[in-house]
Structure 1
Amino acid sequence: MANQETFSSQQRIRSQLLESLEKKITSNEDNFEGLKTYKQNWSSFIYRIPVETRKVDERAYTPSVVSIGPLHRGSEHLKAMEEDKLSYMQYLFLHFTDAAERLERCVDAMFDNESYARTWYAELKIRVDNAESARVKFAEMMLIDGCFILELLFKNYIRSTNPTIRDPILDNYSMTAAVRHDLMRLENQIPFFVLDTLFNLTVASLLKDYEISLKGCIFLFFGGMIGLQRIPNPNPVNPIHILDLLHRCYWPSGDLNYPSATSQSKFEYSATQLDLAGVKFKAAVSEINNLFKVNFRIDHSCFHVFTSGCFEIPPFSITSSTEPFLRNLIAMEEFYFDGRFRYFTSHAFLMDKLINTAKDVDLLVQAGVIRNYLGSSEEVAHLYNNICNNVYVGGFHFNEPCNQVTDYCNLFWPRCVARLNRDYFGNPWTGLSVFAAIFIFVLSSLQTIYAILAYYGKN
């Protein structure tokens, strides 16, 4: 409570913030020093989701409890969280004995970069508002939202080392899940350089004795969204915002072969159809847990007379977070990338092809490809049958293995196996009747051979 006396109320912090900003408003010069690292992102913006895409699933793109950035600020159902964000900003500065001076430096940094931060929002770049009150409110919003996120990330990390630490959001599992979902929505982002700047002015000094960065704190908070044991790319360069950071951390490492933006696949088989054709699924686990390392191979047996196909797909988890996370990643890929980095769109498109019914899901679950924490297999099938609606796939990253599967299924032997499975082994009774017929045929053949041998033996 002694620390709270330093800042007696939330209103005092707010008034001090506005007073500091008003001192800066006399200068209209934009300070871009220190932002050269992020200069390449000048043409990267935060957009609203198109209406047609939003119609498919409104809830996947709209924040439910907290607004971050200007696009949903002022929404009636999010106003209750505004006071909580101010409280989190207060808690953040109460960690420091020089709270007033540190707040002043944060205010200066936000106002210095206010004009640059505006350009990251498509709507604000088109509608430039240089009014003093608008600039003050925007810089204030960046500061409050950024400090809220940083205090939440800091508390989450500290709780991982000391579970006795209490927090009003993190103590409530449902609220934590809702906030986590909101912070990964494409429309609910602030530029990453804002978080990075505030982190270096605040939380970095609190974590100086720990080997963890801002990106590490974010990964810890959002861990398990897809279910990989390890992150393939834990230090992506120059992310645009939190969602982009989560996207880039799953990029394959090393040399990347980008598909053509117009490349399409002739792949049209479901998992059960491939299983009937003799193609088996296997969970492909590599040391780096590359979610996008999909392979197909042909195994030979009996002196290369018989063959079988093996479709290797890295395992992944499906939880209640999967659908909104994937939808926002796919929407971001549509905006930012020209087919080169549409990994999640390609992965969703592949799963949409493989999964038509609950039986396809069950087959992939049995193979260890899918870990289903969502519930019924029907829910998973519904997820993937709808997730690519109104989505342009562009460059499909799995063209090569999918075309190999198609070519294999078009060969004579796999087609014969598929036809036999479909026509004679589609259900247990048909299969039993076929085996009975074969058994009777073998017995009859043996009886005939025995009779012929007996006849010639007598003569």
Structure 2
Amino acid sequence: MQHLISVEEFHSRKEAGESSRDNDQPVIVAEETHKLNITIQERGSTSSKEEKFKKLKEAEAKVQLGTTPKIRQVLMLRGHKHYRKYCEPRVVSLGPIHHGKPPYQLTEEYKLMLADKFIGKTGRTVEELYGIIEDNIKELRKYYDKKVTQKYSDEDLAWMLFVDGCATLQFIDLVAHHEKVKDFKIKNDQVAFVEQDLFLLENQLPYQLLDYLMKNIKKEENSKKEENLRESIQNFINMHSMLDEDTQPPNDENAVHLLDLLRKRLLGLDGVKDKTAQNKETGKGDWHSFRNVQELREAGIHLKSSPSRCLGEIQFTKKWNFYPGILQLPRITVDDSTGPKFFNLIAYEMCPDFENDFGITSYISFLDSLIDDPKDVIDLRKAGILRNLLGSDEEVAQVFNEIGTDLVPSPVIYNKVKLDIQKYFDKKSMTWISQVLHTHFSSPWTVIAFLAAFFVLGLTVVQTVYSVLAYYKK
């Protein structure tokens, strides 16, 4: 509700000691030619209440999970100690989130050069190919969180995505086919950093953008340019999967972006459904008291590499259904890019609009529970589970301890494995057997010494028996 009063009335109120502060009401002054009106809006008006009530109804629609997760800034892990180390690009910015920032200006010319090379291979003119992105910019904008694109016009956003998309496809094609990237005057260290930057959550491009560009390559007789380019992307994902490369990569159907494709590859998803079916059996609880590989060894649990090419497949079995326990994990390679890739995959799973089962988060949480110090890494390496390309085992332990902090894994994934290990771990007899075997059979020399002692003991017993029998015969 509003009151309009004349300037004379306003001054008369002031002379009487009345003010807007006394009435506790905001005063809005509007001037029109020679007449001055003062608008007073009373607090608690009906319209204000109705707007607040309306917000209650609108909130549900705003927080509902979407069918496609938006490309956004890292949210849940933004306060993490190593956020900048793992989430900010080192060489190149892709998309609107880091666009125009000074540290990435040097690579803008490289992106234009790579984009021009890609356009030349498509058989289309730059006007034709850009026109396709421009015509679909409304749809492409929807793949981003509104906050990161609101300052860009459709034209500016279309040009940015067009250049970044073309340059990304050209770069991936070069790397996947091991062509000489040096022809573009890009050094090997820069190539490695760019590859790492392509899997940062804040640096993602909609896969739909890449799909538009690939689908509109001009078809020529006996030419499979589009098919070869899609194969390059799959090879590139395989190269960075940290698992064995001789595995069929996931189909790019319904892919959100490159990071999403990498996640599907690691979890063995089919590219359509987001599920990790392995090890989801429920139990009485997920509590466990074992802490690391060393404690598992003391309880007689051995490590073994799994033939699986999927992070979700971790198994625990018992040899002869008794002893020893065997924990099988898939083989994984750890290098400089492992930390950033896993950290961004975890950040992706934490996105509020991404409905998923936290497969990567659960895997890292489980692995972090096994690794406390370099000794644990050594045992994993000796078992053929972990391949260390970082340098020292201490660095590997540090990486998983850093990215494994403050995680909330799925309560069901690996639950059966944890319960089975705990049951085995709780049996004191297993620990006793393990200690005996470790003490007396840990090396050939201890085995020989044990057998010799056993043989001497046997001879002593036999001699004693004969002595007793001889005595009674007399």
The TM-score with structure 1 as length reference comes to 0.76
Distance in structure 1 (CA, Å) of the matches to 2:395 and 2:384: 18
AA aligned to 1:185 is: L
| Paired residues for 1:157-172 under 5 Å | 157=176, 159-160=177-178, 163=179, 167-168=183-184, 172=187
Matches of 1:142 and 1:280, distance apart in 2: 50
1:9 equivalent in structure 2? none
Q: 2:305 aligns with which of 283, 291, 312?
A: 283
Does the aligned pair in 1 maintain the 2:281–2:416 contact within 8 Å? Answer: no
Q: How many Å separate the matches in 2 of 1:437 and 1:52?
A: 62
CA–CA distance in 2 between the matches of 1:61 and 1:165? 25
Alpha-carbon separation, structure 1, partners of 2:353 and 2:437: 43
Cα distance in structure 1, aligned partners of 2:219 and 2:304: 43
Report the alpha carbon displacement of residue 451 of structure 1 after superposing the two structures with TM: 3.1
Contact 1:183 1:242 in 2 (8 A): yes
Aligned residues of 2:207 and 2:258 also touching (Cα < 8 A): yes
Q: How many residues align?
A: 401
Which of 70, 74, 81 lines up with 2:107 in the alignment?
Answer: 81
> Paired residue for 2:313?
293
Instruction: Report the CA distance between 1:77 and its aligned residue.
Output: 1.0
1:189 maps to 2:204: yes
Query: Which of 150, 154, 173 in structure 1 is aligned with 2:173?
Result: 154
Letter paired with 1:249:
R
TM-score (norm 2): 0.74
Question: Aligned residue for 1:14?
Answer: none
Query: Is the Cα contact below 8 Å between 2:237 and 2:261 reproduced in 1?
Result: no
Alignment pair present for 1:59 and 2:81: no
* Cα-to-partner distance string for 1:128-152 (whole Å, 9 max, x where unaligned): 45xxx72221111111111111221
Asked if structure 1 preserves the Cα contact closer than 8 Å seen for 2:69 and 2:354, the reply is no
- Alignment gaps of 5+ in structure 1: 1-39
1:119 Cα deviation (Å)? 2.8
1:344-396 Cα distance to aligned partner (Å, 9 max, x none): 21211111111112111111111111111211111111111221113222345
Which runs of structure 2 are paired with 1:254-293 in the superposition (5 Å)? 256-257=276-277, 259=280, 264-266=286-288, 268-286=290-308, 289-293=309-313
Q: How far apart, in 1, do the equivalents of 2:212 and 2:404 lie?
A: 36
Residue 396 of structure 2 is matched in structure 1 by 380
Specify whether residues 205 and 420 from structure 1 end up closer, same or farther in structure 2 by C-alpha distance, changes over 3 A only: farther
Q: CA deviation at 1:70?
A: 0.8
For residue 275 of structure 1, what is the amino acid of its counterpart? R
Corresponding letter in the other structure for 1:115: K
- 1:340–1:395 CA contact under 8 A, matched in 2: no
How far apart, in 1, do the equivalents of 2:257 and 2:221 lie?
23
Q: 1:425 to 1:382 in 2, by over 3 A?
A: farther
Gaps of 5+ in 2: 1-65
The aligned amino acid for 2:315 is N
Q: Which moved more, 1:216-225 or 1:250-259?
A: 250-259
Note the C-alpha offset of 1:242: 0.9
Q: Pick which of 110-119 and 377-386 moved more.
A: 110-119
Residues 40-439 of structure 1: pairs in structure 2 closer than 5 A: 41-50=67-76, 52-95=78-121, 98-99=124-125, 103-124=126-147, 128=150, 134-157=153-176, 159-160=177-178, 163=179, 167-168=183-184, 172-202=187-217, 208-209=223-224, 212=227, 214-225=229-240, 226-252=242-268, 256-257=276-277, 259=280, 264-266=286-288, 268-286=290-308, 289-300=309-320, 307-335=323-351, 340-418=356-434, 420=436
1:339–1:394 Cα contact (<8 Å) kept = no
Name the SS for the 2:312 alignment partner.
coil
Structure label with greater radius of gyration: 2
In percent, how many aligned pairs have the same letter? Answer: 26
Q: 1:106 to 1:366 in 2, by over 3 A?
A: same
Shift of 1:414: 0.9
Could you list the per-position Cα deviations for residues 199-225 of structure 1 after superposition, in whole angstroms to 9, with x for gaps in the alignment? 222387699336835442223234332
Residues 14-38 of structure 1: per-residue CA shift (max 9 Å, x gap):
xxxxxxxxxxxxxxxxxxxxxxxxx
Structure 2 residue matching 1:244: 3-state secondary structure: helix
Residue 94 of structure 1 and its aligned partner are, at CA, apart by: 3.1
RMSD between aligned residues = 3.6
1:318 deviation in Å?
A: 1.1
Q: 1:143 to 1:204 in 2, by over 3 A?
A: farther
The question of whether the paired residues in 2 share the 8 Å contact of 1:44 and 1:336 is answered with no
SS in 2 for 1:257: coil
Q: Aligned-pair distance for 1:437?
A: 8.0
SS of 1:280 mapped into structure 2: strand
Q: In structure 2, what is the Cα distance between the partners aligned to 1:389 and 1:204?
A: 50
SS of the residue corresponding to residue 324 of structure 2 reads strand
For the 8 Å contact 1:233–1:251, the answer to whether it is kept is: no
Contact 1:284 1:314 (C-alpha < 8 Å) held by counterparts: yes
Q: Distance in 1 between matches of 2:334 and 2:95?
A: 29
Task: Give CA-to-partner distance per residue, 1:53-78, whole Å, 9 cap, x none.
Answer: 44224221110110001111122111
